[in-house]
Amino acid sequence: MGAIVAIVGRPNVGKSTFFNRLIRRREAIVDAVSGVTRDRHYGKSDWNGKEFSLIDTGGYVLGSDDIFEKEIDKQVELAIGEADAIIFMVDVESGVTGMDEDVAKLLRKVNKPVFLAVNKVDNAQRMADAVEFYALGLGEYYNLSSINGSGTGELLDALVEVL
């Protein structure tokens, strides 16, 4: 299957927009082991001649905050289990949230490359706002706009280096 990259993060940060921008073709979303369809989307992508599979985690969560949190834990667990690298996406429009902090806490313990992607950086003002994400304790981050595509190249350059 080649290298697997998981995109994790709380709902509405732009994971699926980013995923849809990158993938060339969708793969089956059937789990080979259990034979059941899971709430995840796979797609193939490539950059600088390197092919990889992307997982868009976390789909349809209905209900309370409590269920949201459980769902995110599950996403991160799956990512930790399966992925060779993780893109942790956050949203500059909303800034750092408690859920971002929870995910960051889990990811700081993961022994895999984690790329912090600050999404919705559609303009220069938002680039300045993004500095607050240093507070997540994950070091450098990548500014990007999944809508207009800016910054995605820099993130992908760094990502494929570790695959």
CB of 146 to ligand GDP, least distance (A): 4
Contact 18, 41 (CB under 8 A): no
Q: From residue 53, give the alpha-carbon distance in Å to each of 22, 45, 78, 153.
A: 10, 6, 14, 17
| Site residues (vs Mg ion, CB under 5 A) | 15-16
Cα separation, 132 vs 84, in Å, equals 27
Q: State the binding site.
A: 9-16, 56-60, 119-122
Which single residue brings its beta carbon nearest to ligand GDP? 14
Nearer of residues 29 and 50 to ligand GDP, judged by Cβ: 29
Selection from Mg ion, ligand GDP, none that 13 binds (CB < 5 to 8 A by kind) is ligand GDP
Selection from ligand GDP, Mg ion, none that 43 binds (CB < 5 to 8 A by kind) is none
| Site residues (vs ligand GDP, CB under 6 A) | 9, 11-17, 119-120, 122, 145-147
Q: Coil, helix or strand for 29?
A: coil
Nearer of residues 41 and 118 to Mg ion, judged by Cβ: 41
Cα separation, 15 vs 153, in Å, equals 16
Nearer of residues 16 and 150 to Mg ion, judged by Cβ: 16
Residues in CB range of 125: below 8 A, 6 or more apart:
none
Longest dimension (CA), the chain: 47
Nearer of residues 121 and 160 to ligand GDP, judged by Cβ: 121
Q: State the binding site for GTP.
A: 9-16, 56-60, 119-122
Cα separation, 25 vs 44, in Å, equals 6
